[in-house]
Every structure is written in C-alpha cells, then in structure tokens.
Chain A
Amino acid sequence: MSTAANPSLSLGNGMASHRRRLGARGILELAGIYAALVLVLMETIYPLLWVLFGSLKTKQEMLSNIWGPPSSLVFQNYVDAWRIAGMGSRIVSSIFVTGSALIILVVVATPCAYALARLRFPGRGLVLAVAVAAMLVPPQVMAIPLFMVARDLGLINNRLGIAFVYAATSLPLSVFILRSFFVTLPADLEDAARVDGASRLAILIHIMLPLIRPGVALILIFGFIEIWNDFFLAFLLLRDPSVQTIPLGLVSFFQQYDSLWTLYFAALTITTLPVIVVFIAMQRQFIAGLTAGAVKG
C-alpha cells in the first residue's frame, strides 16, 4: 500500500475559490470525457454499423456510397448469403457442438469440483495441482498431437467428438472456478442432510447444485464465448464442409467468393448480430460474471 499523497503538496488555497475553479474546470473536463467516449463509441460501433449498412446495399451503391446508410433495403443479400454460405447447416452444427460440449463440461466438471472442495481423500492435493498446472498449458500448443489422438480415436469430422475435446480444454479452468464456489458454501448444510442419510450424489444434486448456480452460469458464459467463436480447433478437427461450424463457414465463404462484398456483410451480420443481441439483453449478468471470474482467478 502506498502513501495517499505527499503532505508537502497541501499548500491550501482558500477553500471557496478552490471549489469554484474546480467547477469551471469540471465542466471542461466532463466535455473532454464525453468527447473521448464518443470517439471510443465511433471506433467500436461504427464498423459494425458499416457492416449492417453494407449488407443492405446493392453492389453498385456499396462503391458509390461508402459511408452512409443504404438508400434502399436489399434483403435479397441475406437470402443469397444464407444459401451460398450454407448457413443453415453451419448454424445447426454450431448449436450441436456448443450445446453438447457445454452439457459434457457441466456434467463432468461439477462432481470433480465438488469432490475437490468438500471431500477428504488421498491424492486430493495432486488432482488440484494437476488442474492448476493444466491451466498453464494452452491446448493450442498441443494441436498436432491432439489431431493425432483424435484421428486414432476416429473423431476427425465428428461433431460429438470435437464436443468432447472442447469440454476437455475448458475443464481445468471450469473445475477451478466451480471449486471456489463450492468452498464458500457452509458445511452445516451438508452435514444436516448427511445425518438424514442422504447420499453424496443426492446432496450434490439437490442441495449444492442449486446454490452454486452463479458458478455454473459463469462457466457456461466462458465456455459459450470460447466454443461458439472457436476457429482453431474446428479448423484442426472438422475438415469436411458438411460438419463445419459457423466460423469455418465464414472463412471459406470469404475465400471462395471474394467479390461478393454485400453478401459477406449479410453473412457477417447473420452470425454476429444474434450474439450481440443476447449480450445486450443480459449484459449486466454477463459483465458481472466475467469480472467475478477474472478477479477470482
């Protein structure tokens, strides 16, 4: 902790004049802050608006009217983009892969985190140490052997297979987060249930799980952003176009038809807008969850 301020700085002006000067300066300062924030807003939101505008323009207008909103709305761009980029099957793949991975993750991580937090058994320290160490090994660095393992297990181009891989890569952090939630729960709760003869599993499901709902929500938010948006592992393991997820579909669309700008903008809007809308609808929980997770470790 550092000293608050150097005492030698306190050469007091008259208190009243001090306050008046701050007031005048305060307004200027506030104007400056708003100007800076509007700049930030322009820099984050305008490119997205630009994509939205572009997705509704004709190809000619795209060149003649670069900056502004479209003069007429060409919804046909969306129809064409949906068809050419094969959006329907990509969205189904993304939902299937992300949904399965998150279910596997919660089912596998929760009992493990519970055991690490509440049970006493030999080897607990070792399991915990492995979980922490694994967080230092990002899955990207072992992409090549992971590809080999998946190939040996016949999991290339297998959507359920990649869901297991995603669950595994999110596992160490999720166990760590859930454990920190279990640790904070009072022990008497559980002891009372044990006296009544409830089994550990029943306690976990009926008593503990409802209490750590915020923790589960947190790992689901982390996991969703990570898996839904992932390109790298999907690029590695889903090689057949018929099973590919949205990010892969966008890239191949972009690489195959690199002159259909208005259609890209439409495809980009289709894939980003839903996530942004969900985020805006629940941004409080979203941001609170992320900061809690980050500050917790």
Chain B
Amino acid sequence: MSTRPQEAAPSTSRFGRFVSGDGAVAFVMILPAAILFGLFYLWPFVNGFWLSLHNWDGFSDPIWAGFSNYQRLTHDRIFLGALRNNLIFVVAVVVLKNVLGLGLALLLNRALIGRTFFRAAAFIPVTMSFVAVGLLWSWIYNPVFGLLNGALDLFGLGGLKQSWLGDADIALYSIIVVDVWKWLGFHAVIYLAGLQTIPSELYESAKMDGAGPVQRFWHVTLPMMMPIVFINTILGLSGAFVRNFDIVYVLTKGGPNHATEVVLTYMMSKAFQDGAMSYAAAIGYVLFLIVGLASVGLLALMRRQRLDV
C-alpha cells in the first residue's frame, strides 16, 4: 500500500536496516497490541488445547489424558444433543434473519413518509443487551400472565396457547424467535445499505422489458444482493454459534431436560458446576473447530463466486 521512497539506510546489516528504517518504530507501535493479544487471546488459545489433553479440576496436579476427553465427547449424549440444538439454532436464525431482513429492507427502501422513524424502530432491539431481551421475552412467554398467550386469547385463538419455554418440543424454537427478533433490524439495515447501491437504471430497463415486481426481484435485486447475502450470512453464522449463551441462560438455562442446551451452556455447566475444566476446554475446542470450518468454508465459497466484499 505505502510506496514511499526508502529513507537513507547507511547500515548494511539486516539488524541495522531494521533499526534505522521503520522496523524499530513499527515494533514499538505494535508491541502493546502484541502483549494484549498474547496474554488474553493467544495464550488462552494454546493453553486451552493443552488443558483439553489433560484431566484437571483446576486445582490439583493435571494428569496427561491424551485425546480421551475428545473421545468421551463422541458418546456424551447431552453434548451431542447440545450440538444438534446448536446446529438447528444456527440454520434457523441465519435463514430467518436473511429472509425477513431482506423483506424488511425492501419495505424500508421505498420512498415512504416516516421511513427514518420505521428504520429506527426496527433497529432498537439491536441496541438492547441479550439479558434485557431475554428477560423481556421471558415475560412475553410466561404461560400465566404473558403477553403472547394473552394475545392468543384476545384473538380467540386460545387453543394455540402453549407453555412456550416449558414444553421440550417448542422451547428451542421459542428461543430462536427471540434471537431473530433482536437481530432483525441489524440485518435489515445492512440489506438496506446494499439495496441503495443498485443502480436504478437496471430497474428501469427491466421495467421497459415488461418485468413485473416479482421478476424484477428475482432477476435484478437478488443477483445484485448476493455479496450482501454473504456478509449477512457470515455475520449471522459466527454470531449464532457463539452468541447464544446469554439468551439461553436467561430464558431456560438449557432446560427443560436439556431440550434447549447449546454447546456453550453445556461447556459452562461442565466447568463450573461439575468442575470438569479439561472436559469443558475440549468442548470449547470442538466448537472452535466447527465455527472455524464453517467460516473458512463460507469464505472459500465466496471467493469461488468471485464475491470480493
């Protein structure tokens, strides 16, 4: 990037050039970041792997265990259930956030009175903490005096009333709705930014060719929006894997009977309720591998589609 003339470098040795050129300055400028990163990112990352290869409660002497923690994971039914829940969660929220987010953006992209107001309103849940959102929805879902069952009664749909978080068959989906509710405005705003970059001539010429609104969507909007779909998918994907602890913890703590257990809630309960630190570290590593593979796969797909964003 920076192509500026090299300054006079009288010393010929590598070290001499390093010191008299930008090397020493760069070293000093990067050092604080390197220390911070090393202490709280790199060290835990490496240490976590070491930990996962031992058996350790965090206090006594660690005992070498090889890959036995990972082997145990492959037939830990609660872990496998949590993994399955996590994958359902990821797929559902990513699809819903994209479809609904694009839909909302299309609505907001029209010249409307009060557009700024609607846009701000849709964005408000994004600014709230997961804890606040979770507490709010735990009242909405409350089977006795909650808003949702109340609304169903009001519209004469009392037969649809549920124990939204207490029923093992639907609790996970109730949580998915909450996550989508919180993030919808965020994804819609990104889609909106993308929609505004589509040149209006494309729509004009499609209109001239007699394409209706639906055809214009499929043949102009969607192909032009593919890079934004990828951005939203990447943002949603990494978030959905690792940002579900707060919401699950507040709403159900993984219950009833592990029906809403996700990998992070299980990891935390293993570590701090059962004191199985190494086992929990192995769970974290497996989650890292899955998230990493998913992200790298998506990026590779993006590059193959030549979507440089």
A positions within 8 Å CB-CB of B: 1-7, 9-12, 30, 33-34, 36-37, 40-41, 43-45, 47-48, 50-51, 62-63, 66-67, 104, 107-109, 111-112, 114-122, 124, 127, 130, 134, 136-149, 153, 164-165, 167-169, 171-172, 175, 183, 187, 190-191, 200-201, 204, 225, 228-232, 235-236, 246-247, 250-251, 254, 261, 264, 268, 271-272, 275-276, 279-280, 283, 286-287, 290-291, 294-295, 297
Q: A107 near B47 (CB under 8 angstroms)?
A: no
Separation of A104 and B174 alpha carbons in the complex (Å): 38
Chain B: interface residue count, which band? Answer: 35 or more
List CB contacts (< 8 Å) of B120-144 with chain A: 120-132, 135-140
Contacts A167-B36, A279-B123, A279-B124; is A111 near B30 (CB within 8 Å)?
yes
Is the CB–CB distance between A143 and B130 below 8 Å? Answer: no
Q: In the bound complex, do residue B40 and residue A146 qualify as a contact, i.e. CB atoms below 8 Å apart?
A: yes
Residue pair A279, B127 in contact (C-beta under 8 Å): yes
B189 CB contacts on chain A under 8 angstroms? 287, 290-291
Q: Which residues of A contact B137 (CB under 8 A)?
A: 47
* A interface footprint on B223-240 (CB within 8 Å = 1, 0 otherwise): 110001001000100100
Q: List 29 A-B contacts (CB under 8 A).
A: A1-B223, A5-B216, A10-B209, A36-B107, A37-B112, A41-B122, A43-B181, A48-B124, A66-B145, A111-B32, A136-B238, A141-B284, A141-B287, A143-B268, A145-B44, A145-B284, A149-B43, A169-B41, A171-B37, A171-B41, A187-B3, A251-B249, A271-B129, A275-B127, A283-B116, A286-B123, A287-B119, A290-B186, A290-B190
- Given the contacts A2-B219, A171-B36, A200-B25, A145 and B51 also touching, CB distance less than 8 Å: yes
How far apart sit A109 and B37, CA to CA, in the bound complex (Å)? 10
| Given A136-B291, A140-B264, A250-B132: A40 and B309 interface contact (C-beta under 8 Å) | no
Smallest Cβ-Cβ distance to B112: which chain A residue: A33
Residues of B within 8 A of A (CB): 1-4, 18, 21-23, 25-30, 32-34, 36-37, 39-41, 43-45, 47-48, 51, 58, 104, 107-108, 110, 112, 116, 118-132, 135-140, 145, 147, 150, 181, 185-186, 189-190, 192-194, 202, 205-206, 208-211, 215-216, 219-220, 223-224, 228, 231, 235, 238, 241-243, 245-246, 249-250, 264, 267-268, 271, 277, 280-281, 284-285, 287-288, 291-292, 295-296, 309
Q: Which residue of A lies closest to B51 (CB)?
A: A145
Let me know if B41 and A283 touch, CB within 8 A.
no
Are A149 and B27 in contact (CB-based, < 8 A)? no
B41 in complex: contacting residue of A37, A66, A139, A297, CB < 8 Å: A139
Q: Is the interface of B mostly helix, strand, loop or mixed?
A: helix
Quote the shortest CB–CB distance from A7 to chain B (angstroms): 6
A279 contacts which chain B residues (CB < 8 A)? 120, 123-124, 127
Query: Across the interface, which residues of B come within 8 angstroms of A275, CB to CB?
Result: 127-128
B29 touches A5 (CB 8 A): no
- Report whether B281 and A37 are in contact in the complex, using a CB–CB cutoff of 8 Å: no
CA distance A174 to B246 in the complex (A): 23
Kindly report which residue of chain A lies nearest to residue B127, judged by CB atoms: A279
| Chain A residues in 8 Å Cβ range of B210 | 5, 9-12
* Minimum C-beta distance from A52 to chain B (A): 11
B215 lies within 8 A of A5 (CB): yes
Report chain A residues within 8 Å CB of B108.
Answer: 37
Q: What A residues does B228 contact at CB under 8 A? A: 295
Report whether B118 and A41 are in contact in the complex, using a CB–CB cutoff of 8 Å: yes
- Contact of A134 with B271 in the complex, beta carbons under 8 Å: no
CA separation between A204 and B242, bound complex, in Å?
36
Q: Do A191 and B264 touch across chains, with their CB atoms under 8 A apart?
A: no
Q: B264 to chain A: which residues have CB within 8 Å?
A: 140, 143, 232
Chain A nearest CB from B123 CB (Å) reads 7
Once the chains bind, are B231 and A295 in contact (CB under 8 Å)?
yes
For B27, list chain A residues within 8 Å (CB). Answer: 121
Q: Which residue of chain A has its CB nearest to the CB of B201? A: A4
Contact status B33-A109, CB under 8 Å: yes
Cα separation A224 to B14 with both chains bound (whole Å) = 43
**Could you say which residues of chain B place their CB within 8 Å of the CB of A142?**
44-45, 48, 284, 288
CB-CB under 8 A for A4 and B128, given A66-B145, A112-B33: no
B28, B210, B219: residue with the most chain A Cβ atoms closer than 10 Å = B210
CA distance A116 to B58 in the complex (A): 39
Contact for A136 among B33, B250, B292, CB less than 8 A: B292
